[in-house]
Amino acid sequence: MYLVWLRAAVVLYAVASLTAIPAVLGGPSLWKRFCIPAALSAWLLQVVALVEMLTEHHHWIPTGAHEAQTALALLVTSIFLIVWFVYRTMSFAIFALPLALLLTVIPALSDQRYTFSSNQIRSGWIFAHVFMLLAAYVALLFSLIASILYQVEEQRLKSKRPRRFMEWLPPLDTMDRISQSLLIAGFVCMTIGLFAGSLVAQERVGAVYFADPKVLMAFALWVLYVLMIFVRRSTGFRGRRAVYLSSLIFIAMIGVWAANLVSSVHRFSLP
């Protein structure tokens, strides 16, 4: 029965994770009305699931891998909810809720080590992983181009003799909105891509997946991406500073891609 509660918690964690992105990154306040109730409901279902899981196995200390993952996800969500109720800040949602989702989805699939039911389903997850990460690369590249064009147009407008052949560039506000929108779109694609890749890799190699240098670099890049978005939105960086930030993330992405050469678990291919 606990699998039912865990699977319902996964759905709610997915809703909370998706709504956390616009809620934290400055979207309409409406998103907060979905994020917190979904996270709290998922937490309650996970409490019930963990109690049933431990009762069924006749002990009260998490010992198995699925029990430990469920308990860890529960603790992550508990700390986030405590921070929310005490300080009324959503900032940690963008870290805590996707992590809780990733930790919960594995135990929710099966009470044993899970395997995909067919090679086609596994291939679909691998396709989602590769496609979404490539989409993140492209979104960041176009965001970088938009920031560079912003800098060029700003310098043109400030000059005493504007270059007429650059008049085809859109207004500064338009380019800034394009740059920021693509940054957020790239972040969403990267989050989905990392989640899909984590699911596939854990099915093949287990928990050792999280010790792989490629994986560690990818999640470090994800954190760096979040920090860059926060910095841009809080400081209003535009022009040259925005180019520097986007360039830093793009170089880091290339480094993560190159890490395939030293990765021991990231060389799987389509079945």
- Region 207-231 average pLDDT: 73
Residue 39's pLDDT band (boundaries 50, 70, 90)?
very high
Nearest to 95 by CA among 76, 112, 111, 110: 76
Query: Against a cut of 0.85, is the pTM above it?
Result: no
CA distance 15 to 91: 17
The per-residue pLDDT for 265 is: 55
Helix (H) or strand (E) holding 161: none
pLDDT mean across residues, the chain: 77
- Region 189-200 average pLDDT: 82
The per-residue pLDDT for 99 is: 84
Which pairs from 149-154 meet CB under 8 Å and 24+ separation? 149/175, 150/175, 150/176, 150/179, 150/238, 150/239, 150/242, 151/239, 151/240, 151/242, 151/243, 154/238, 154/239
First vs last C-alpha separation in the chain: 33
The per-residue pLDDT for 43 is: 94
Integer CA distances (angstroms), 191 to 104, 135, 138, 227, in order: 16, 11, 15, 14
The per-residue pLDDT for 270 is: 41
DSSP code at position 111:
S
Tell me: pLDDT of 109 over 90. Answer: no
Q: Any idea which of 53-67, 81-95, 174-188, 194-208 has the lowest mean pLDDT? A: 194-208
Residue type for position 229: I
- Region 156-181 average pLDDT: 70
Q: Any idea which of 110-114, 126-130, 150-154, 222-226 has the lowest mean pLDDT? A: 110-114
- Region 160-168 average pLDDT: 61
The per-residue pLDDT for 271 is: 42
